[in-house]
């Protein structure tokens, strides 16, 4: 039996994770659920956005299904107590280092894509982004140059162990998809990228069934817009992945449809929609639960090793949307519950 921690959080978080849990329960998979507050909801209940009980549940669980955190009521709190700190704390405590962001255009939703209609339907890619290293975590500071100028600096650094473990996540993901991995770097100018490329090539020896290619990040940004269908899985560092994954989301369009995963080395993970708590529509039953439902599918695929069950959920979501089920973000009037029902009906 697998334990799944449900951390609904704030705003529309409880509404969308509720639908995702209903979908998981319908699969008959011997799952056990435990729920705990996080974010503003936890601050209200326990005085901290990530209370010890919530953290210990997340640690005990095989995987975490997370809603969203963020509550305008707490915007003026001390930084360490703001709802957003909860997700940073979970990433740190659970040692999550690999962020997976799929981006695809669902049949019938092509016009929500920022891409030209001829190419929009072709986007179906997964970005695997390293999240514990790179310029965000290197030595940094401000100093004064010999010429008396203020200078800011952030060291970009990756060691071979860090690169090898994210490369493996990329290869594994490609193996479960269309078998193509594109490693994105800037090896023509960066030492970090030279090492990155060497280590990815070394790791490829264990994955003869995956086709590996390399691309400079500037070209990758261009190609994603020009002909996105060429990409299956992209593996890249923290900085490039940050930018490319937001670009990919816009290429796909609908914020209410896109899930994400962040994994640790032991296969545990935290699964959440890419959207936030959407305070403007919270409590109205209008949020699109598909991103949370698809996050639950990723949870089955990556932490519980149940790819068939994950496929079933994804196929059901695609069918519900293709049949015309539309929440407000997709230009319709269906409720959160109605969308959840439509997915359940097609499972």
Binding range to ligand ATP, per CB under 6 A, among 160-168, 205-213, 270-278, 312-320? 270-278
Short-list 7, 20, 98, 109, CA closest to 323: 109
Q: Which of 109, 329, 339, 342 binds ligand ATP (CB under 6 A)?
A: 329
Mask: binding to ligand ATP, 94-123, rule CB under 6 A, as x and -?
Answer: ------------------------------
How far does the chain reach from its first CA to its final CA, in angstroms?
22
Give the Cβ contact number of residue 336 at 10 Å: 23
Q: Does position 276 bind ligand ATP by CB under 6 A?
A: yes
Specify which residues 272 forms β-bridges with.
Answer: 260
Q: Report the residue number, 276 or 340, with the smaller CB distance to Mg ion.
A: 276
Please say whether the beta carbons of 106 and 215 come within 8 A.
no
169 or 320, CB closer to ligand ATP? 320
Query: In degrees to the nearest 10, what's the CA dihedral of 43, 47, 53, 59?
Result: 60
Structure-token pair, residue 283: 């409590």
If one asks whether residue 18 binds ligand ATP (CB under 6 A), the answer comes out as no
277-306 residues near ligand ATP, rule: CB under 6 A: 277-278, 280-281, 287-288, 291
On whether 22 is known to bind a ligand per the annotation, the reply is: no
Rg of the Cα atoms in the chain: 20
Phi and psi torsions of 141, nearest 5°: 170, -175
Q: Is the dihedral of CA 284, 289, 295, 297 positive or negative?
A: positive
Q: In whole angstroms, how close is the CB of 68 to ligand ATP at the nearest point?
A: 6
Do residues 270 and 96 make contact, with C-beta atoms less than 8 angstroms apart?
yes
Q: How far is the CB of 279 from ligand ATP (least distance, A)?
A: 7
23 lies in the binding site for ligand ATP (CB under 6 A)? no
How many residues can be counted in the chain?
347
Residues 259-318 that bind Mg ion (CB under 5 A): 276
Please tell me whether residue 87 binds ligand ATP under the rule CB under 6 A: no
In the list 204, 255, 315, 319, the residue contacting ligand ATP (rule: CB under 6 A) is: 255
Angstrom distance (rounded) from CA 263 to CA 67: 16
Q: Which residues are catalytic?
A: 136, 186, 218, 242, 246
Please indicate if the annotation marks 285 as binding a ligand: yes
Taking alpha carbons only, the member of 140, 162, 167 closest to residue 151 is 140
**Residues that bind ligand ATP in the complex, under the rule CB under 6 A:** 12, 16, 68, 70, 255-256, 275-278, 280-281, 287-288, 291, 327-329
Q: Which residues are annotated as a binding site for Mg(2+)?
A: 218, 242, 246
Q: Which residues are annotated as a binding site?
A: 91, 101, 129, 218, 242, 246, 276-288
């Amino acid at each position: 039996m697998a334990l799944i921690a449900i951390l609904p959080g704030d705003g529309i978080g409880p509404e969308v994770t509720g639908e995702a849990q209903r979908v998981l329960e319908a699969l008959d998979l011997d799952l056990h659920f435990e729920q705990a507050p996080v974010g503003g909801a936890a601050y209200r209940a326990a005085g901290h956005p990530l209370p010890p009980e919530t953290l210990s549940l997340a640690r005990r669980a095989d995987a975490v299904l997370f809603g969203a955190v963020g509550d305008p009521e707490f915007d003026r709190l001390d930084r360490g107590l703001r709802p957003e700190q909860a997700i940073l704390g979970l990433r740190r405590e659970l040692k999550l280092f690999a962020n997976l962001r799929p981006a695809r255009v669902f049949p019938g939703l092509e016009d929500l894509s920022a891409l030209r209609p001829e190419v929009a339907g072709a986007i179906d890619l997964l970005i695997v982004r390293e999240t514990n290293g790179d310029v965000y975590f290197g030595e940094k500071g401000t100093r004064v140059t010999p010429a008396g100028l203020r200078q800011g600096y952030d060291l970009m650094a990756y060691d071979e162990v860090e690169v090898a473990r994210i490369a493996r996540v990329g290869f594994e993901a490609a193996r479960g998809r269309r078998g193509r991995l594109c490693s994105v770097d800037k090896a023509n100018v960066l030492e970090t990228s030279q090492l990155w490329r060497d280590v990815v090539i070394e790791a490829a020896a264990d994955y003869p069934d995956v086709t590996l290619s390399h691309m400079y990040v500037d070209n990758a940004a261009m190609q994603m817009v020009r002909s996105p269908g060429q990409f299956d899985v992209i593996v890249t560092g923290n900085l490039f992945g940050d930018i490319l994954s937001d670009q990919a989301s816009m290429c796909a369009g609908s914020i209410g449809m896109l899930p994400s995963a962040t994994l640790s080395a032991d296969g545990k993970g935290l699964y959440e929609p890419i959207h936030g708590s959407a305070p403007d529509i919270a409590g109205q039953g209008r949020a699109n639960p598909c991103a949370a439902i698809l996050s639950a599918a990723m949870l089955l695929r990556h932490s519980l090793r149940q790819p068939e069950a994950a496929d079933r959920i994804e196929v059901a979501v695609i069918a519900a949307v293709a049949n015309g089920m539309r929440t407000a973000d997709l230009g319709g009037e269906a409720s959160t519950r109605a969308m959840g029902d439509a997915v359940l009906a097609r499972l």
